[in-house]
Chains A and B, each alone.
Chain A
Amino acid sequence: MQPTLIAKVENKPGVLNRVASLFRRRNFNIESMNVGRTEDPDISRMTIVMENQDIDARKVEANLYKLVNVIDVQDVTNHPTVLRDLALIKVSSTPDQRSEISNLANIFRAKIVDVAPDSVIVEIAGTEDKIEGLVELLRPIGIQEMVRTGQVAMLRGTSTGVRHTPGANGNNNIKSKNGRQLN
């Protein structure tokens, strides 16, 4: 699994720019970054997938905390996580190819959401692997366009991700040996 981080940030103008600028400045290459609203209107949530294994998630976390608007960062790499990516794929299709595409879509639990005289749009949500699988099968038929949202991630049940530097943001409830609250 590629290094994947979930960041909760304040829902304010320019925060996405701050995060993107930080990654560029520190030379962190990202595979995808998804930003969206959450259950709390004041908080946005980012799912950040780093490009390769060489990038130290701890380093990314520590740098994110330099941004005043970043509230919490968890590293969910290799944790029990639901990961989803959504893709829209426009495939060239003569009327007699439609059933073949429809069959493939069914196998992958994808949907055909638009039909035009010479193309169809397939919508698929799932893990990266699953989407890659369908893409490979559709490619010989002829992919005209594709768009993907990038991954979103949510930890299963009560599991938590890793916070690499406890206390990095001062609010991680670190206790001393005698139980005294240190932060």
Chain B
Amino acid sequence: MIKTGAEIVCECLVREGVEVMFGYPGGAIMPVHDALLEYPIHHVLTRHEQGAAMAADGYARASGKVGVAIATSGPGATNLVTGIASAMMDSSPIVCITGQVASYLIGGDAFQETDVTGITLPITKHNYLVTQADELAQVIREAFYIARSGRPGPVLIDICKDAQLEETEFVYPEEISLPGYHPPSHAPMSELQKAAELINKAKRPVILAGHGVMMSGGIDELKLFAEKTQTPVAMTLLGLGALPASHPYALGMMGMHGEAYCNNAIQNSDLLLAFGMRFDDRVTGKLREYAPRAQKIHIEIDPSEVHKNVAVDVVLVGDLKTILNDLTPLAEPSDHEEWLDTINEWRADSEERDILSWPDEDQLFTAHVIKSFWKTTDGDEILTTGVGQHQMWTAQYYQQEKPNRLITSGGAGTMGFGLPSAIGAWFAHPEKEIWTIEGDGSIQMTIQELATAVQEGANVKIMIINNNFLGMVRQWQEFFFDKRYAATPLTGPDFVKVAEAYGIPAMLITENKEVPNAIKFAKNTPGPVLIEYQVEKEDAVYPMVPAGAALDEMIRRPISREEKAGAK
């Protein structure tokens, strides 16, 4: 069958199961947008290409499928870059399609020509430059396979305009051949046995559960292993939900803003079991003093992550779910009551310090907002966040009972991620409402996507935590820069009026007791709703491990207002 390159792109996307894509048109990608009208794929017009890449990422994480973003050449493609880098750091499977100038113009600095495959080389799992229509079917098949398999990640396909227009015989490749790409699955038995030996003699083990647990679909396997070996489970930001927060072995989040008892457990452990996580500096603190008495087992699909930051004793390279299925039968049931009791003592101390234990004096702390939100929604919502203090408070107080519910930019820490990723997530679950918790700084990086939400009727509920500061940087300035608030005070817009200008119902909340009603209002109003919370301006996220300090050298929250005043 003779088809144009643009038609082949659409045909292949349909065959990959693509139903929705996020993008922005432009000269060099017009043939594909034109052809799209004839295919059952819904194109969501974002207001900036960065929003398209982030929406594709949100869609991918909420659906478990590959998200697709599309943009034109030059500035269209370069605007995708931040979204692609985020997806790379968080191993999110997206395919980005960009238009490129005609193949005979390449290298001549043509209008809107940019070396996009060059720019995205270090931030994609793989990328392609396609100059002929007859390469397209093969390339698109490979791209989707690479994006979703092994350690998932973004793949970019840059397609010259003449290749989009060229007609060729369309043959759908039944098979793909990638001689250099074979994601590992099983780990060798010899290594599994070494791991089992360490597990069976451990007295104070801790599991470190990362994004990989969910990526491999190993939720049940993790629970089975943890319960059989009585091992508490600490989670990374992207690993939250791997074990339900209410599970007695769940230790919550580890790391810079992790729970103190969780970090203490890691530091005092004699065996760390790293499951699909990569020892990011935000979870280890000072490497030389990280879990000094612990032996370490690392289960990881990407061999380049092994020994990268932390040298480990046993390496199991492969798919986490597969490996846990092989490993759990080798582990003996263990009794770690004493260890769990010790951790629970630390836990009690943390609860005492919790701001929720402070007497209510009509101050609105973000912790109150998130906790009320959690209670009002039974902790059962899919939510996305921006990046900053509000993100950490969400991780701490919206306790995740189920996997894949918290969509947040972890590795890259990309501000502005919340709104576009929520729109993407809604297309994965159009029957649900999707919540996004944003800061007043973060939301303004991608606030134009309010228009996208309105145009699509996306059921996204936007909560803005407004403290009139770039709060996380302000917090660092408070602790480490002598309260010199350089470039962090924000004179925000009136977010309620902004919402109204877009036709979005909105309200401003200043008191704790109003929070449940606001959330009910948002739930009962169809389509996008915006709630602005005017919160305490100079609250800080506790605990905090200062950058470069050991994991148990935490700045803790003062135990009361009086102590806080005394500390000043």
Contact = CB atoms under 8 A, between A and B. Distances in A.
B489 interface: no
B184 to A, nearest CB: 5
Interface in B293-340: 302-304, 306-308, 315, 317-318
Contacts of B184: 167-170, 183
B188 A166 contact: yes
B132 to A, nearest CB: 13
B48 interface: no
A130 interface: no
Interface in A59-82: 59, 61-63, 65-72
Contacts of A70: 180
Contacts of A85: none
Interface stretch (B117-125, B226-234, B522-530): B117-125
Interface stretch (A14-22, A97-105, A107-115, A152-160): A14-22
A59 B121 contact: no
B178 interface: yes
A62 B188 contact: no
Interface string B174-195: 0000111111111111100000
A167 B181 contact: no
Given A59-B304, A63-B304, A165-B303, A170 B182 contact: yes
A146 interface: no
Contact of B117 (A14, A71, A174): A14
A69 B177 CA distance: 11
A31 B301 CA distance: 30
Among B121, B179, B185, the most chain A Cβ lie within 10 Å of the Cβ of: B179
A182 B188 contact: yes
A152 B422 CA distance: 52
B182 A10 contact: no
A25 B122 contact: yes
A169 B188 contact: no
A58 interface: yes
B163 interface: no
Interface string A160-183: 000001111111001011000011
Contacts of B189: 176-177, 182
Contact of A59 (B179, B185, B302, B307): B307
Contacts of B179: 10, 71
11 contacts: A17-B121, A65-B304, A66-B125, A67-B180, A68-B125, A71-B179, A72-B180, A167-B184, A168-B184, A169-B184, A182-B189
Interface string B273-308: 000000000000000000000000000001110111
B146 interface: yes
A52 B307 CA distance: 19
A21 B186 CA distance: 30
B126 interface: yes
A65 B303 contact: yes
A61 B308 CA distance: 13
Interface of A: 9-10, 14, 17-18, 21-22, 25, 56, 58-59, 61-63, 65-72, 165-171, 174, 176-177, 182-183
Contact of B303 (A68, A168, A177, A182): A168
A167 B317 contact: yes
Nearest to A20: B121
A14 to B, nearest CB: 7
Nearest to B129: A14
Contact of A182 (B181, B182, B186, B315): B186
B504 to A, nearest CB: 42
Contacts of B307: 56, 58-59
Contact of A169 (B122, B129, B182): B182
Given A10-B179, A21-B121, A167 B315 contact: no
Nearest to A10: B180
A9 B307 CA distance: 25
Contacts of B146: 68
Among A9, A21, A25, A176, the most chain B Cβ lie within 10 Å of the Cβ of: A176
B317 A66 contact: no
Contacts of B187: 167
Contacts of B181: 68, 169
Given A59-B307, A168-B317, A9 B188 contact: no
A135 B57 CA distance: 57
A71 B181 CA distance: 7
A25 B317 CA distance: 23
A74 B378 CA distance: 54
A66 B183 CA distance: 10
Contacts of B125: 66, 68
A136 to B, nearest CB: 39
Contacts of A9: 180
A43 B448 CA distance: 48
Nearest to A168: B303
Contacts of A166: 188
Given A14-B117, A165-B315, A168-B317, A176 B304 contact: no
